[in-house]
Amino acid sequence: MAGSHHVGSESSLASPSDQPHRTAFHFQPPKNWMNGPMYYNGVYHFFYQHNPSGPLFNPQMYWAHSVSRDLINWTPLDHAFAPTQPFDINGCWSGSATILPGNIPVILYTGLDSEHRQVQNLAVPKDLSDPYLREWVGYTGNPVINLPDGIQHDDFRDPTTAWLANDGKWRVIVGSQKDKKGIAFLYRSEDFVNWSMHESPLYEVAGTGIWECPDFFPVCVDSNNGVDTSVMNSRVKHVLKVGLYDYTRDYYLIGSYTPEKESFVPQNELTLDTLRYDYGKYYASKSFFDPVKNRRILMGWVNESDSETDCIAKGWSGLQSFPRSIWLDQNQKQLVQWPIEEIKMLHENEVSFQNKKLEGGSLHEILGITASQADVKISFKLTNLEEAEELDLSGIDPQVFCSEMDASKKGKFGPFGLFALASHDLSERTAIFFRVFQNNGRYSVLMCSDQSRSSTRNGLDKTTYGAFVDIDPQQDEISLRTLIDHSIVESFGGGGKTCITARVYPTLAIGDDARLFAFNYGTESVLISELSAWSVKKARINIEETIGCGHAINLSIPKYDEDNLPFFIPTFVMAPSHHVGSESRLASPSDQPYRTSFHFQVPKNWMNDPNGPMYYNGVYHFFYQHNPSGPLFHPRMYWGHSVSRDLINWTPLDPAFAPTEPFDINGCWSGSATILPGNKPVMLYTGLDTENRQVQNLAVPKDLSDPHLREWFKHTGNPIINVPDGIKHDDFRDPSTAWRADDGKWRIIVGSRREGTGMAFLYRSEDFVNWSMWESPLYEVAGSGIWECPDFFPVCVDSKNGVDTSVMNSRVKHVLKMAAFDRGRDYYLIGNYNPENEHFVPQSELTLGSLRYDYGKFYASKSFFDPVKNRRILMGWVSESDSDEDAHAKGWSGLQSFPRSIWLDQNQKQLVQWPIEEFKMLHENEVSFKNKSLEAGSLHEILGITASQADVNVSFKLTNLEEAEELDLSGIDPQVFCSEMDASKKGKFGPFGLLALASHDLSEQTAIFFRVYKNNGRYTVLMCSDQSRSSTRNGLDKTTYGAFVDIDPQQDEISLRTLIDHSIVESFGGGGKTCITARVYPTLAIGDEAHLFAFNYGTESVLISELSAWSVKKAHINIEETNGDAY
């Protein structure tokens, strides 16, 4: 192999090498030390105690603030509160959020006043129309609750979320102590400003020390659903949680609450053996009710186990647990916790097996996932339980017992479980395991988390944790779920009945060197009845950026000002809190109005053809033609390279290929990827050699263990295919993905022409290195000019699923796509392929009227098979419609279409395309309506979304079709017809559709519309994309596009889906049967000034049977950063 252009060797893991213990999917701040979580107007808010000055605790705390749409990915905002006022000048300590009637959020928090007294303060958002609640203002009458008599100045803190009883009074509790008696003081208020202490605490327990961060909430007795904190009825019990400062543990009690007497009666008294949320490293937790999914969510602080010196070296300290759903167990004796379902968004590379027997003393390594960043679920089944050791565990401290009987101590049933973050030689490992004992015919299950060998480093807290699991191993399998994230291991035993969290700091088991094992060191065998494990993608957590993420939101909720204050504060004079920025949230900055939000594009310079897209080891790869030296085409092309976990967010890598060798010194042109047996990716591409001849070359990855495939080697025997005799040196390019037939030979096609005849030369090989040309092309058409970027693949005749490129059977047809260079269009044919005689017989001949993927600005496309979701995905180059001078001014040129799933229509006559389902990840602010009549000549503006960054799906229903205009459209060029009959020309049924990227006065508009005609009792639907008024600028290509849609409007509604992204409009008519993409450059309809309308300029009314539209969040596309993967 000859070395190709070197690709950087950045770590593919979440944590860079100098920060091996930063996590990938657990909430943590970008730096430094790490209160009232809530959901408000489509956004989850997380506030937390933060020392912005350093990674150690400092009493002068701030309230930091991050927001999320999914509880997975978090965007940091400026601080919500800073210690600036007399009532909090020495620190803004913990508190809670409450949503008041009218959907008004407020926060109660502890402030350390000028005399260091802990007092309780009130704050409200400055602007309720801002879903991010960036700015908060403190009540000038603060503190609203002063220190009670007889309580020390530093023993009164952390007000809870308030609840409202039937008497109309609000209640909160505040943690305290008196003479080592832990207390939850109860306060009541009618207006949320004036609070009075109840005559007795809600609850108190002698000898427990100060209670911090109390929480009080209802749980359903007959459902896993959560309920609002103010719910009180016979179907709920109440949970009182207290943080015992002297032990740094969170304990909870379940009981009955009577608001009339302010009486809370727990089922059990509070002792050190009382139930805990988590028996490991977990404290100061807070829950909130999520009204979106009717659940209660819990998060807790997970502090460090290393030294202050380590924290200073790392530059940060503290994590939050992964969000957990929490509910009352069916036995009503304890709570159950489980990672929120959204973690599935991060899953990839599932491995699973069933009924694996683990003999005594055995190990089984779990391969195929990233062991340092994983989610593992395992269930153990035990037989012969009568052989279990006899041991009376009553009175035994399970943590002490687990420490003494660590994972190295053999028993009968146990230890068995998982070794997480294990080194190859097991000198480092975090063991999460079970032991089973019997006593008088009853069985006890002990769960341990043993950190004693978690690191070879000294000076760490390697405490081993333990707790019992309330299950009967005779009746129930013993289940364990463990979330592994570099330096945190969260484990859920017995379906979430017992939870243990550990912090660990391996030195060997880091990143790719971490291993994961199931083990059984007991003498009795155990059966793994089922195991499922996933790699977990990196979430986007608190990566500092201009706030917005595409969440441009317009909510009609009143703002606070001096004349319009909340109903409960009629005389407030607000003292400003620390200011939170109000930066723009639009995808495109004002100096780059045409950069897109969710379409693939490079940070700068030129991009054209997609090359070699593929899926490999959990990662999607996209290669593309790239001129790194400027924004215009240049023959000396490089292969750009980006990677993704979801086909939405893309991280740029260094170029895969650069023109460095004699066989490609004048340019690395297009090609394709093939996955060989053994999951080995290879690349065939066209090189321009020293004489500018187009030759075909082979390249392979340097390191198959790198899922990002950063480095590639070029075969020393290149070129492997030379220009055929009789073919011009510049007419032979773009090898396809290879396929293999039953004879064991690989096939590819290469685009070419001979004397005006376009053709796909066919080559075959047994070893992928030595290729011979077949006696005739796979297909050729006279007069069609050179074919570029050919593609050849099977499609199922009875399913929307995609299949591997080598599939050949009676259940598939084959598609041959060619890019006709002279026309700048991608055409395709559907037909039958016979590998024995290498015949491809299309259903119809190739003409200028043949089927096209897209009838607009779309070329040089490439498809690939996605084995994860069994689909074929298509992407195509969308070129610019402005000038070279414009490209220089912008600094970039070229987009890729949004990825499309592609399949054979049920009529088997054409393909259907649709945006990939992952697009839903970017949806927000849905607006929808049904059965809206659009009268002749009418407009209907679609409000409530960001019109410059949107996804719109609309269906039109037509009646009285017998009134349609008579017109024979046979032989008519639909593009020419759409240009002549633009959106301003009235017909009967049409034009109707959408006006996208429209200015307020409609002087700018991109119209996507339909017209319906009849001829001899049959109906024809025409779809047009009219760019003639897309911009007030001159010097632009404003071509109008058009095509027919193969639907019957008597039977089917006429549907249109349009993706709008600043300077690109992709439209899918008839459920994806006809697609048209346009590039537009508005000067007025930019950003917030863009509007979106449904319109009908025909003389007959049409019915919008259904419309759904969404704002689209900004994806993370090719943003260069140094802190790890964007995904």
Rounded Cα distance between 286 and 159, Å, is 11
Structure tokens at 757: 């005849």
Rounded Cα distance between 831 and 870, Å, is 22
Rounded Cα distance between 727 and 40, Å, is 66
141 burial type by CB count under 10 A (0-12 exposed, 13-18 middle, 19+ buried): middle
Tokens 């502090």 correspond to 303
Q: How far separated are the first and last CA of the chain, in Å rounded? A: 32
Rounded Cα distance between 105 and 761, Å, is 67
Rounded Cα distance between 360 and 387, Å, is 14
What 3-state DSSP class applies to 346? helix
Active-site residue flag, 609? yes
Cα atoms found within 13 Å of the Cα of residue 395, Cβ hemisphere only: 2
Rounded Cα distance between 417 and 433, Å, is 4
Give the β-pairing of 605-616 and 892-893.
parallel
366 burial type by CB count under 10 A (0-12 exposed, 13-18 middle, 19+ buried): buried
Rounded Cα distance between 221 and 447, Å, is 26
Cα 801 to chain centroid, rounded: 23
CA distance to 493, 625, 693, per residue, from 668 (Å): 54, 8, 12
- C-alpha closest to that of 695 among 716, 717, 668, 719: 719
CA distance to 645, 653, 1114, per residue, from 1067 (Å): 25, 31, 19
Amino acid (1-letter code) at residue 382: L
Rounded Cα distance between 677 and 61, Å, is 57
DSSP string, 490-540: EEEETTTTEEEEEE---SSS-GGG-EEEEEE-SSS-EEEEEEEEEEEPPP-
Instruction: Return the bridge partners of 509, or none.
Output: none
Instruction: Return the bridge partners of 527, or none.
Output: 357, 381
What 3-state DSSP class applies to 308? helix
Catalytic residue (one of 113, 215, 375, 609): 609
What 3-state DSSP class applies to 885? helix
- C-alpha closest to that of 965 among 927, 919, 1013, 1010: 1013
Neighbour order of strands in the sheet with 526-536:
347-358, 526-536, 373-381, 478-485, 488-493, 498-503
DSSP string, 362-426: EEEE--SS-TTEEEEEEEEE---GGGSEE---TT--HHHHHHHS-TTS--SS-SEEEEEEE-TTS
Are 682 and 673 a contacting pair, CB within 8 Å?
A: yes
Q: What is the chain's alpha carbon radius of gyration, rounded to the nearest angstrom?
A: 33
Give the β-pairing of 163-164 and 619-627.
unpaired
Are 912 and 904 a contacting pair, CB within 8 Å?
A: yes
Rounded Cα distance between 946 and 1087, Å, is 8
Looking at the annotation, which residues are catalytic?
609
